[in-house]
Amino acid sequence: MISVNNRDFLFVPIADYLIPAEKVAHVQIGNYAEHALLVLTKTGYSAIPVLDSHNRLKGLLGIGMITDAILGLERIEYERLDNIKVDEIMQTDIPNVKTTDRFQKGLDLLINHPFLCVTDEDGIFAGILTRRVVLKQFKKYIYTTQ
Ligand code: 2BA
């Protein structure tokens, strides 16, 4: 990660601040909700990316989307977990962020999203930009420019 002490960091490509794809917990198109719930529970994350078999970004899946899908009239119908596929319930309207976009775009979007899924120029999932990483960078900027 590049270390900068002035506002230059706003113009650095997002690629320099990514948690790389190989370190990001994810599920794949075609996986069942039961598997996704297991991954979300075991990693402790509230939402993770959904990828296809070519590592292309397809959507986002959170715990709430799973519980909402199995919510019956009177109870949570856990037995439906192995009938529902992640592609049926994932969120697909997510921001389009590229590795070449600037940090400033990430900063703006992270106000409303806890993390951003980032793709390369071929649409392949490259990693995520999290609020944590951006806040750390922002803190560094504030503390070194007083
Ligand atoms: P959440 O899961 O809601 O996590 C919110 C914050 O709680 C995280 O902020 C982090 O500071 C902390 N946290 C949660 N689970 C953690 C864990 N297993 N280890 C360490 N810290 C944990 P951010 O780091 O800014 O992450 C924002 C969101 O990005 C997370 O929201 C999660 O949905 C996603 N995320 C972060 N790292 C991920 C990874 N390696 N794989 C998949 N998703 C990830």
Determine the residue of 18, 23, 45 to mutate for testing ligand 1's pocket, defined as the one with the most ligand atoms within 8 A of the Cβ atom: 45
Q: How far is CA 136 from CA 4, 20, 92, 127, 133, in A?
A: 12, 17, 28, 18, 5
Tell me, in angstroms, the distance from the centre of ligand 1 to residue 45's CA: 5
* pLDDT single digits (tens) 8-36: 888 999 999 999 999 999 999 999 999 99
Please name every residue paired with 130 in a beta bridge, in sequence order, or none if there are none.
115
Domains recognised in the chain with CATH numbers: 7-144 (3.10.580.10)
Q: For ligand 1, atom 3, name the residue with the nearest CA.
A: 46
* pLDDT single digits (tens) 93-134: 999 999 999 999 999 999 999 999 999 999 999 999 999 999
Amino acid at residue number 56: R
> Under a CB-based contact definition with an 8 Å cutoff, are residues 26 and 127 in contact?
no
Q: For ligand 1, atom 30, name the residue with the nearest CA.
A: 45
**Index of the ligand 1 atom closest to the CA of residue 45:** 2
